[in-house]
Structure 1
Amino acid sequence: MPRVRPRRLRATPALRRAVSETRLHPSDLVLPIFVREGVDEPVAISSMPGVVQHTLDSVRGAVNEAAAAGIGGVMLFGVPEVRDAVGSGATDPDGILNLATRVVADEVGDALVVQTDLCLDEFTDHGHCGVLDAIGRVDNDATLERYREMALVQAASGSALLGLSGMMDGQVAAVREALDTSGFIDTAVLAYSAKYASAYYGPFREAVASTLQGDRRSYQLDPGNRREGLREAMIDIEEGADIVMVKPAGSYLDVLSDVAAASDVPVWAYQVSGEYAMIEAAAANGWIDRQRAVHESVVGIRRAGADTVLTYWATELAGWLNDGVVA
């Protein structure tokens, strides 16, 4: 007869709750939101069932619902009508992302952390995260100048947390300096530190109507590189990042765990569009229990070390947590 019986602590729901190592709370979740210019009603994203491109009006309802659910924040992405080589719309105070930021900050700025994507890919006609040089390569240092300009406009529009997702060398230091010298010392910086050149971004390309030509492997990380992800996070922390992030989440839990173990700032993870789409597709076919799979996928990301998870299920999952449907 075994003397040590770990099953004792799994015998009842009450015991399982009492010894649970990882718990989710609505405030652990951030909802990514797309706002599109030039539409009169929300536009469904076919590859992401349940997710839409919002109008400036409909986004109000979405963020109020998120606030009522008690999630931690919203990350805003803009989808402009017109794009050019340098992403001019990104630094136009009346561009779609900056307009949306003002709307959302005014609506729920006291209840949610209003966050903005600081990257040029949605605004350039070539779809890259920076400006291109004469032979078509992404020019790192010229891009940093654009990021500085974007940071100031986004901060002035009411963003409390700038999500630096472009993976340019030195981007954290450049943006932090621009913010501090212009008086935005309280605007925080979220560094997408370990952002991998992943196949899981496919549905996101539809969500932002991407015009990408080529790929982003010259600046995003090789999926096979684990140590490099940690190195990038440590560089960003040294440059002044307030939070660092690993993206995608589910296929990079080892990197997430490494970063969480080494970081002295909060560590977040982004459960990206492809991760969302796969669970939704499997659930739609009756192959998995949707609610359990959604909850388990986010618990796994938290268990690996993420303090906060960006997920398209944030509001819905928070509702389940609030209702006690999942724990």
Structure 2
Amino acid sequence: MSFPTHRPRRLRQSPAVRRLVRETHLVPSQLVLPMFVREGISAPADIGSMPGVQQHTLDSLRRAAVSAAEAGVGGVMLFGVPAVRDANGSGATDPDGILNVATAAVVEEVGDALVVQTDLCLDEFTDHGHCGVLAADGTVDNDATLERYTDMALAQARAGSHLLGLSGMMDGQVAAVRDALEAEGFVDTLILAYSAKYAGAFYGPFREAVDSQLKGDRRQYQLDPGNGREGVKEALLDVEEGADIVMVKPALPYLDVLADVRASVDIPVWAYQVSGEYSMVEAAAANGWIDRRGAILESLLSIRRAGADAILTYWATEAAGWLREQL
């Protein structure tokens, strides 16, 4: 009988060998924890569609941020849930608004230990749930929205945010925010551009988390799920406009786009493992259909393998603990 000429299995023969030759590595500092802080609540509130995730009070937000820092997580991304909303999202630019107050609190608590990041979008703050200012015909007015974004950027920078997450998908948003920051002296404030953010079915639990008022959809400004090249184009435009980091969102359904963006730009590329991805794994694990820990770590590793330098994930603190156990 003939024997195999090549024996790739030699590289899989033991845990020690597999660790030594592993191509892709995942460490706690590559994880970012998204967190929700809600105005007007006296105790953390569970989010029904996202088991294990809560809307925080300021006090519980501080504690969760400390836990993330102690686990070695690289950063936290803050989302505010205001008590009052209006058409222009006024709470987003109010220095005493929930997101800006929470930002200052978290920076004070852990600002030297991790990167404190803030979501820069109006959807949580508007009574219509869209990511910008509405025109008379009900569509989102791109350029009027940019004016609100620049005001929001300055409010967040003044609150101490290290990194602004521009998630609204308005044309020219990176250039507008960069110019505003530079003009006010915030030259070191980082911009994360949600460059390839797709309109789709994976955001449902997030909308519960922020008590979204959205009616309809966001297909006029978020990307069509069928378009991969357009995601790369958006990333290249954001790099040209001054983004420090670009993002693909969601992560697992768009690993091809993530890989293409990674191959096309020379700045960090991140990915957001969104609420729907989280909730699907949690639901399957709760039914005993999959190994929860294994599925979580495998999903994160696959996002890294596709090219993400960092990952926003609701499992960040928990996964970081597991990864530290493996060291």
TM-score between both structures, scaled by the size of structure 1: 0.99
Give the partner amino acid of 1:151: A
Give the partner amino acid of 1:291: R
Equivalences for residues 101-180 of structure 1 within 5 A: 101-180=103-182
Distance in 2 (CA, whole Å) between partners of 1:32 and 1:60 is 13
Give the deviation of 1:97 after TM superposition.
Answer: 0.3
Deviations 1:182-234 (A, max 9, x none): 00000010000000001000000000000001110000000000000000000
Question: SS state of the match for residue 200, structure 1?
Answer: coil
2:18 maps to which residue?
16
Question: SS state of the match for residue 55, structure 2?
Answer: strand
Equivalences for residues 258-273 of structure 1 within 5 A: 258-273=260-275
2:101 maps to which residue?
99
Residue of structure 2 aligned with 1:206, choices 205, 208, 212? 208
After TM superposition, the runs of 4+ consecutive aligned structure 1 residues lying more than 2 A away are none
Give the partner amino acid of 1:35: V
Question: SS state of the match for residue 32, structure 2?
Answer: strand
Question: SS state of the match for residue 64, structure 2?
Answer: helix
Give the deviation of 1:100 after TM superposition.
Answer: 0.4
Deviations 1:64-115 (A, max 9, x none): 0000001100000000010000000000000000000000000000001000
2:66 maps to which residue?
64
1:286 maps to which residue?
288
Question: SS state of the match for residue 197, structure 1?
Answer: coil
The RMSD of aligned alpha carbons is: 0.5
Question: SS state of the match for residue 38, structure 1?
Answer: coil
Deviations 1:48-76 (A, max 9, x none): 00000000010111000000001100000
Give the deviation of 1:3 after TM superposition.
Answer: 2.0
TM-score between both structures, scaled by the size of structure 2: 0.99
Give the partner amino acid of 1:242: D
Question: SS state of the match for residue 199, structure 1?
Answer: coil
Give the partner amino acid of 1:272: V
Give the partner amino acid of 1:76: L
Identity rate, percent: 74
Give the deviation of 1:276 after TM superposition.
Answer: 0.1
Distance in 2 (CA, whole Å) between partners of 1:75 and 1:323 is 25
Give the deviation of 1:28 after TM superposition.
Answer: 0.3
Give the partner amino acid of 2:88: V
Distance in 2 (CA, whole Å) between partners of 1:242 and 1:60 is 27
Give the deviation of 1:5 after TM superposition.
Answer: 0.5
Question: SS state of the match for residue 57, structure 1?
Answer: helix
Unaligned stretches of 5+ residues in structure 1: none
Give the deviation of 1:135 after TM superposition.
Answer: 1.1
Give the partner amino acid of 2:52: G
Residue of structure 2 aligned with 1:254, choices 253, 256, 275? 256
Deviations 1:35-55 (A, max 9, x none): 000000000000000000000
1:238 maps to which residue?
240
Distance in 1 (CA, whole Å) between partners of 2:138 and 2:263 is 38
Distance in 2 (CA, whole Å) between partners of 1:11 and 1:302 is 24
Deviations 1:248-287 (A, max 9, x none): 0000000000000111110000000000000000000000
Distance in 2 (CA, whole Å) between partners of 1:186 and 1:21 is 33
Give the partner amino acid of 1:219: Y
Deviates more, 1:1-10 or 1:116-125: 1-10
Question: SS state of the match for residue 247, structure 2?
Answer: strand
Q: Does 2:48 align with 1:46?
A: yes
Unaligned stretches of 5+ residues in structure 2: none
Distance in 2 (CA, whole Å) between partners of 1:263 and 1:248 is 19
Residue of structure 2 aligned with 1:28, choices 27, 30, 40? 30
